[in-house]
Structure 1
Amino acid sequence: PTRNRFCFNAFMSASGKIRVFCRIRPVNRSEAAQGGAVVVAKLDDYSVTVETQRGPREFQFDKVFSTEASQEDLFQDVNRLMQSVIDGYNVCIFAYGQTGSGKTFTMVGDKDQKNPGIMPRSFNAIFDIMRENGSKFDFKVSAYMLELYNDRLQDLLVSQAGEAHAQTQPHGPTRRVEIKRNRKGVVFAQGAETKEASSAQELYALFQQACANRHISATKMNVESSRSHLIVGIMVESRNLTNGSVNTGKLSLVDLAGSERAAKTGAKDHQLKEANSINKSLSALGDVISALSAELPHVPYRNSKLTQVMQDSLGGNAKTLMIVNISPSEYNLDETLTSLVYATRVKAITNNAQRNVDSKEIAQLKEVIMKLKSGHAVEEVDV
């Protein structure tokens, strides 16, 4: 297993390319009722074909999942990235696609969690690996959970009532979350509540709290449409008990809100404002993807909070996996083609993934600095 891990990390680092999976969801009830043709098909494990007015178009990806693929099937191809997080790498997995294409099902799962998605499965996988390596390493897991709603970052681990109370106090602290990057280029959320978890159950409980606070509403396209981008950050610190070196890995899990056309979704008033904000941020993401895939000298990360959040994941230092979710129906042909073209561009982007590892001495010095910053007394440390 250690050799396999080394080979996988070496291959991913050497290739540098962002991996892209394509998942075709089954035809839903409204599409079936309309009697529209199915225009998308999986050709093989790496190819998908779309019937257009100009004839069939073929797209190639790192893996293609058909309508029959289960959540478990998908996670089998994602699971190895969890080991990379433990090994000190920055990893990002994000879902992209139009409203109603199955992104939240892929990332979060269904409402009663009979079919959990990548996020809850990742929590279990991380703690399983930690349990297997408990005799060699000391682990610490912490998490932040945010949503980007109407171009404002909101902390989902802070109760909305508490937040409202804080904002009504004339001199009370208003919790402002800002996206920053450390010297190694890793993005972090300054001002966000970061909570430790000692088990997969504790991490999942935090996740449930975050999902309960997320903005969701019904549209014509989707009974439970995500009106925000969900961003989950899991930090794993592992201290080698033999030599004292410390790895710090970060897993970013992003469920993007879906692109949509107001005429199709029936969005009005505040929903229209939400849709415009979602489309604006996704357009900025598209600009970043285009600039990176064309290797332009300037990449417009600063144009949106979403692109700032994903700066280390697209063209940065993360091992990144994009899952493009598409509808098979003719009714959604235009949106499906747009998503597939975007995903093809993402495949051309190169990242430079590097381990975040400190020697025993550096780790001790960092601990001293943290204690001094927080006003704690520090004993002399022999480094």
Structure 2
Amino acid sequence: MGRLPADVLAELDRRLAPVDAELLRRYPGQVPGRQPVHTVYVPADRCHPGLVAEWGTAALAALRDHPPLPYPAELHGRVVDKLRREPIEDLRIDFEDGYGVVDDEVEDAAAVAAGRLVGAGLDGGGLDVPFVGVRAKSLTGAARRRAVRTLDLFLEALLGAGKLPAAGRFVVTLPKVSVPAQVEAMVLLCGRLEAAYGLPAGWLRFEVQVETPAAILGPDGLATPGLLIEAADGRCTGLHYGTYDFSAACGIAAAQQSLAHPVADFAKAVMQVAAAETGVRLSDGSTNLLPVGETAAVQAGWAEHAALVRRGLERGYYQGWDLHPAQLPTRFAASYAFFRDGCAAAVARLRAYLERRSTGILDEPATARALAGFLLRGLDCGALTEAETGYDRAALAEV
């Protein structure tokens, strides 16, 4: 029975239905589908057909030339298979810091060559990678005109080559973002480029590099990443942390600049909370200690890289940047070890939840989805098989 007037529910609906709709718009939940474990940055003038296989070969050569292996022996077969089959999951053709400032005609030619390379097709065409994109220069100051021209020439060459990457497989990286107005300008540019080239509306999407303190906290004390996501009008696919620009801007001495520094942890935590449930993914940055030179130096580089990859995974950053072929073994080995170490417990907890069995852990629906998501990530990167999890992808996606 109850004593509440009959019109109370109608009043609550009137007040909260618009709130429900707005929350659903802003926080649609995790985007389905594969997220690459890394993004490999290669300067535009070093990108060419055969690049991906060359990186895999160089990574295998590093393992051969600098023993012992930088991972447990039981992972060796999986890592070697990955390096032969798919050494790069996400390639970013770089026209910014990794490329530098060159004469306009030189960058013009590089933009056209990059467009033709991507336009030749993925999956064994110009590039054999699941995901690809370009990083142009920023939209700040004098770099703005160059950034727009590079994207314009790239797209012209891409379409002229005849094969448009499927939606979701291509992304533009927007560097040096500080304020929402720059993201709004990128939205405008994407729309104009789509109209100019007859591209499907919304096909051009971008990821935002968080490299400045203002991109974390504005002068009003508000957290900026949420404002950047909102300003992107649905086109932002990810927030990528820029290790060294951000650390330097915060006054951190060069020797202490690291993905594990407290300022990095603070920035990435703000990014993580702001992006949660928005469908915008996160990526950790890079380490500049490369595994190159004599064996002792290679082993030191491997040890640091593997530790940082594992640290990021444990903190919910499932993607990072790689800058050298010799980082690939530790990227995949650390990722595989993370998912394999957690597989048995995740499967047991998920099975108990789905079968409604009582155990010593009381999991809720959100945790069950996280357990399924963990196993899906392990399947996507090759760390796990469906036989090892006891579930196929479709069943896990439905949890």
TM-score under structure 1 length normalisation: 0.30
User: Counting strand residues as a fraction of each chain, which structure ranks higher?
Assistant: 1
Rg bigger for which structure? 2
TM-score under structure 2 length normalisation: 0.30
User: Counting helix residues as a fraction of each chain, which structure ranks higher?
Assistant: 2
